[in-house]
């Protein structure tokens, strides 16, 4: 049987080969930083007297979104440490800051009406003075700076609208990626506008696809990059809405975090609220995907959260303007794969570079990009792209302040796997005093998908369906928004005449069996309501219906399908959400 997660070889098609010295896959902050710093380093190298100049180089960057920034999505309060290392004058270059954190609150919500504010913030949540950013806007700014850049001897190609669909291999080493074909019918046959994907060949390929990268999945299958990590990769799932609120409703620089309600006891996650420029407010919720609850739903948690008396007044009279969702790679130090291999590197969320305690990863991914660039320069100068050569990137990152920050936070996610229990609180206290150490570390962790229980084990009754335990919310279209109304504001576009990019790899019957025992969690956790179970003529649930055109590329189904039956693959380049404020 053909592997449905890769595209057909199509021997009748001639694929154009394009050659690069360095190819970056994904235009997130880690890869854009790596490219930016690499250009700086090449320029400095070539200015040095007596060295062999690096000339005639071709460096490419592909991005699956139609425009760089369209798929970038994060909170975010930015720790500017890596940005300052990359570009100390960033403020003078029109960096799109949404304001600076001026006041912070952390709450434990104990019920739908009550809660208390922590009198003292834990040190890892101190953000005062840091810039509040929209990652989408920040990434666009970085791409703009790179487009304006000219480095003699280097040809830089930024190529949005191109999705890497499979890794190119030669003798066990990575030699580039193949991009996705365009103009393909749902049955896989070419249409009249068919355009074959290209073979982008590179001496070294840097994979920065974000959380749960499709190509990173292939790298893992072939190279076993996770084998040396004590834990599997781990994820949270986050959704957020951006509201325009009446002037003066929330002070500039205001930041709010909470945990507790509406999550059930034993579940981990929490909220975030950031005041942005232009009287906009980000309101979001993340849930940990290692939960046993088959009906975990970050979107529902967000809708409930907005009704709490601490939150509802902030949104009164406001207007929802944008929505999005994304998985967060939260595994950190214990879940980090091998970062370098012959012909390639992993950076950013693809490498689990997120500090779970601070709920921040942009600065760590950017530091990864800075370290990768140093190694890339050495590799280009020595013409050595072996694993031993590229491994210097991994050593530099792990020894850097970013690696050490991840090391100190290494047990946070695992410790809070069942929420903020008294034991978890005690362990967190110990870890703060002991540089991150907790008794029994690293402990045992299971893949997020394997943690999902049947409804009988988790909710005490077999055969439950989502509505049985989560009665419907009263959506009013004003403050409480349905998933479908929300996803309309993600600006999602996919050509509906292409094959679904969400592949059911083990068959519909596996979904039907999952529906019987686990209530089909994908129909609940998906933030865009892509999955629905459908009955046959006798009214018996017989198949899963996939509205792939709504997909916001959050990757949660690939991570959390308890049967491992869904594989997310890149759709034709250019498809997906269009975030401008996220
Ligand atoms: Fe996320 Fe999967 Fe739903 Fe797409 S289909 S929005 S990747 S859960």
110-134 mean pLDDT:
93
- Identify the CATH class of 17-76+139-229+337-408: alpha beta
361-380 mean pLDDT:
98
Please tell me the pTM assigned to this model. 0.96
The preferred substitution site among 502, 524, 549 for testing ligand 1, maximizing ligand atoms within 8 Å of CB, is: 502
Residues found in the chain = 582
24-41 mean pLDDT:
98
Determine how many CB atoms are found less than 10 A away from the CB of residue 413.
26
- Identify the CATH class of 449-568: alpha beta
Residue extents of the structural domains in the chain: 17-76+139-229+337-408, 98-134+232-332, 449-568
CA of 239 relative to ligand 1 center, distance in Å: 12
Q: Which atom of ligand 1 is closest in space to residue 552's alpha carbon?
A: 6
CA of 272 relative to ligand 1 center, distance in Å: 22
Q: Which residues pair with 188 in a beta bridge?
A: none
Q: What local confidence, expressed as pLDDT, does residue 405 receive? A: 97
CA of 88 relative to ligand 1 center, distance in Å: 38
Residue 158 Cα to chain centre, angstroms: 21
The preferred substitution site among 493, 530, 565 for testing ligand 1, maximizing ligand atoms within 8 Å of CB, is: 530
**Which tens digits make up the pLDDT trace of 481-501?**
999 999 999 999 999 999 999
396 lines ligand 1 (CB under 6 A): no
Between 130 and 471, the more confident residue is 130
The answer to whether 224 and 47 are in contact (CB under 8 A) is no
**Which tens digits make up the pLDDT trace of 161-205?**
999 999 999 999 999 999 999 999 999 999 999 999 999 999 999
551-576 mean pLDDT:
95
Tokens linked to 247: 């002037």
Q: What local confidence, expressed as pLDDT, does residue 206 receive? A: 98
Axis crossing angle, helix 29-47 with helix 135-147, rounded to the nearest 10: 30
524 lines ligand 1 (CB under 6 A): no
d(CA 28, CA 328): 13
Over its C-alpha atoms, the chain yields an Rg (Å, rounded) of 23
CA 424, 332, 86: angle at the middle one, nearest 5?
130
CA of 527 relative to ligand 1 center, distance in Å: 7
Q: Which atom of ligand 1 is closest in space to residue 528's alpha carbon?
A: 6
CA of 567 relative to ligand 1 center, distance in Å: 10
137 lines ligand 1 (CB under 6 A): no
Q: Which atom of ligand 1 is closest in space to residue 556's alpha carbon?
A: 8
75-84 mean pLDDT:
94
Confidence of residue 473 (pLDDT cuts 50, 70, 90): confident
Helix (H) or strand (E) holding 203: strand 199-207
Share of the chain above pLDDT 70, in %: 99
**Which tens digits make up the pLDDT trace of 404-455?**
999 999 999 988 887 778 888 888 889 988 999 999 898 889 999 999 999 9
**Which tens digits make up the pLDDT trace of 98-114?**
999 999 999 999 999 99
361 lines ligand 1 (CB under 6 A): no
- Lookup result for tokens 């993600």: 490
304 lines ligand 1 (CB under 6 A): no
560 lines ligand 1 (CB under 6 A): no
528 lines ligand 1 (CB under 6 A): yes
Nearest CA to ligand 1 atom 3: 526
**Which tens digits make up the pLDDT trace of 328-368?**
999 999 999 999 999 999 999 999 999 999 989 999 999 99
475 Cβ contact partners less than 8 Å away, ≥ 6 residues apart: 303, 481, 482, 485
Nearest CA to ligand 1 atom 2: 557
- Identify the CATH class of 98-134+232-332: alpha beta
Q: At residue 70, does pLDDT exceed 50?
A: yes
Q: What local confidence, expressed as pLDDT, does residue 1 receive? A: 45
Tokens linked to 541: 């649930």
Q: Which of 12-16, 34-38, 124-128, 533-537 has the highest mean pLDDT?
A: 34-38
**Which tens digits make up the pLDDT trace of 212-238?**
999 999 999 999 999 999 999 999 999
The preferred substitution site among 328, 526, 558, 561 for testing ligand 1, maximizing ligand atoms within 8 Å of CB, is: 526
494 lines ligand 1 (CB under 6 A): no
The answer to whether 35 and 156 are in contact (CB under 8 A) is yes
Nearest CA to ligand 1 atom 1: 554
Nearest CA to ligand 1 atom 8: 526
70-90 mean pLDDT:
95
The answer to whether 226 and 220 are in contact (CB under 8 A) is yes
* Shared fold status for 17-76+139-229+337-408 and 98-134+232-332: no
Sign of CA dihedral 430, 255, 287, 579: negative
Q: What local confidence, expressed as pLDDT, does residue 189 receive? A: 92
557 lines ligand 1 (CB under 6 A): yes
The preferred substitution site among 554, 558, 559, 566 for testing ligand 1, maximizing ligand atoms within 8 Å of CB, is: 554
The preferred substitution site among 297, 323, 484, 553 for testing ligand 1, maximizing ligand atoms within 8 Å of CB, is: 553
Confidence of residue 573 (pLDDT cuts 50, 70, 90): confident
501 lines ligand 1 (CB under 6 A): no
Helix (H) or strand (E) holding 557: helix 556-560
351 lines ligand 1 (CB under 6 A): no
**Which tens digits make up the pLDDT trace of 390-407?**
999 999 999 999 999 999
Q: At residue 124, does pLDDT exceed 90?
A: no
Sign of CA dihedral 164, 503, 578, 521: negative
Q: What local confidence, expressed as pLDDT, does residue 542 receive? A: 78
Between 275 and 538, the more confident residue is 275
Cite the beta strand spans of 310-452 per DSSP E.
319-329, 340-341, 344-346
451 lines ligand 1 (CB under 6 A): no
Q: Around 182, how many Cα atoms within 13 Å sit in the side-chain half-sphere?
A: 15
Rounded to a whole number, what is the distance in angstroms from the first to the last CA of the chain?
40
556 lines ligand 1 (CB under 6 A): yes
d(CA 237, CA 263): 13
Q: Which atom of ligand 1 is closest in space to residue 546's alpha carbon?
A: 5
CA of 553 relative to ligand 1 center, distance in Å: 6
Alpha helices in 473-507 (DSSP H): 483-488
Q: At residue 563, does pLDDT exceed 50?
A: yes
Confidence of residue 311 (pLDDT cuts 50, 70, 90): very high
Q: What local confidence, expressed as pLDDT, does residue 2 receive? A: 53
Nearest CA to ligand 1 atom 4: 551
Q: At residue 131, does pLDDT exceed 60?
A: yes
d(CA 490, CA 70): 10
237 lines ligand 1 (CB under 6 A): no
Q: What local confidence, expressed as pLDDT, does residue 34 receive? A: 98
Share of the chain above pLDDT 90, in %: 85
The answer to whether 554 and 523 are in contact (CB under 8 A) is no
How does the average pLDDT of the chain come out, rounded? 94
Tokens linked to 484: 């479908």
d(CA 486, CA 470): 19
Q: At residue 276, does pLDDT exceed 80?
A: yes
CA of 388 relative to ligand 1 center, distance in Å: 37
Determine how many CB atoms are found less than 10 A away from the CB of residue 547.
18
């Amino acid at each position: 049987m053909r592997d449905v997660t890769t595209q057909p070889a199509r021997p009748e098609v001639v694929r154009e080969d394009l050659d690069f010295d360095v190819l970056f896959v994904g235009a997130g902050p880690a890869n854009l930083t790596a490219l930016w710093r690499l250009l700086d380093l090449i320029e400095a190298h070539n200015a040095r007297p007596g060295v062999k100049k690096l000339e005639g180089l071709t460096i490419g960057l592909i991005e699956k979104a139609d425009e760089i920034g369209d798929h970038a999505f994060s909170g975010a309060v930015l720790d500017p440490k890596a940005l300052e290392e990359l570009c100390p004058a960033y403020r003078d270059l029109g960096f799109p800051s949404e304001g600076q954190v001026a006041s912070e609150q952390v709450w434990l919500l104990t019920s739908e009406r009550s809660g208390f504010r922590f009198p003292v913030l834990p040190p890892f949540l101190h953000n005062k003075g840091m810039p509040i950013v929209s990652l989408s806007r920040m990434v666009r700014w970085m791409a703009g700076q790179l487009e304006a850049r000219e480095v003699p001897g280097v040809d830089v190609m930024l190529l949005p609208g191109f999705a890497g669909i499979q890794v190119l291999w030669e003798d066990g080493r990575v030699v580039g990626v193949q991009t996705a074909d365009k103009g393909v019918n749902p049955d896989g046959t070419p249409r009249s506008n068919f355009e074959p994907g290209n073979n982008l060949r590179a001496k070294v390929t840097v994979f920065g696809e974000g959380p749960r990268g499709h190509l990173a999945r292939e790298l893992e299958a072939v190279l076993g990059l996770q084998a040396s990590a004590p834990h599997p990769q781990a994820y949270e799932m986050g959704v957020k809405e951006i509201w325009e609120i009446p002037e003066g409703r929330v002070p500039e620089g205001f930041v709010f975090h909470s945990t507790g309600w509406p999550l059930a006891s034993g579940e981990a996650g929490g909220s975030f609220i950031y005041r942005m420029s232009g009287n906009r407010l980000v309101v979001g919720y993340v849930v940990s995907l290692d939960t046993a609850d088959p009906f975990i739903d970050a979107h529902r948690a967000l809708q409930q959260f907005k009704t709490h008396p601490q939150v509802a007044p902030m949104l009164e009279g406001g207007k929802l303007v944008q929505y999005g969702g994304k998985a967060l790679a939260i595994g950190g130090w214990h879940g980090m794969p091998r970062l370098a291999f012959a012909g390639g590197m992993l950076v950013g969320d693809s490498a689990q570079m997120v500090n779970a305690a601070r709920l921040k990863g942009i600065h760590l991914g950017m530091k990864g990009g800075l370290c990768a660039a140093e190694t890339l320069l050495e590799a280009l100068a020595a013409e050595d792209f072996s694993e031993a050569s590229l491994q210097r990137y991994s050593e530099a990152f792990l020894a850097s302040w970013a690696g050490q920050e991840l090391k100190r936070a290494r047990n946070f996610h695992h410790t809070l796997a069942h929420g903020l229990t008294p034991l978890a609180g005690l362990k967190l206290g110990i870890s703060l005093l002991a540089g991150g150490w907790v008794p029994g570390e690293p402990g045992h962790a299971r893949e997020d998908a394997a943690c999902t229980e049947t409804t009988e084990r988790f909710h005490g009754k077999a055969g439950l369906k989502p509505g049985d335990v989560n009665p419907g919310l009263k959506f009013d279209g004003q403050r409480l928004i349905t998933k479908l109304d929300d996803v309309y504001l993600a600006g999602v576009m996919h050509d509906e005449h292409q094959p679904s990019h969400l592949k059911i790899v083990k068959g519909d019957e596996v979904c039907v069996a999952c529906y019987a025992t686990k209530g089909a969690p994908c129909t609940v956790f998906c933030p865009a309501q892509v999955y629905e179970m459908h009955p046959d003529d006798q009214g018996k649930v017989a198949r899963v219906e996939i509205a792939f055109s709504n997909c916001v590329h959050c990757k949660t189904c690939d991570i959390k399908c308890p049967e491992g039956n869904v594989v997310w693959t890149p759709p034709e380049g250019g498809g997906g959400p269009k975030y401008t404020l996220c």
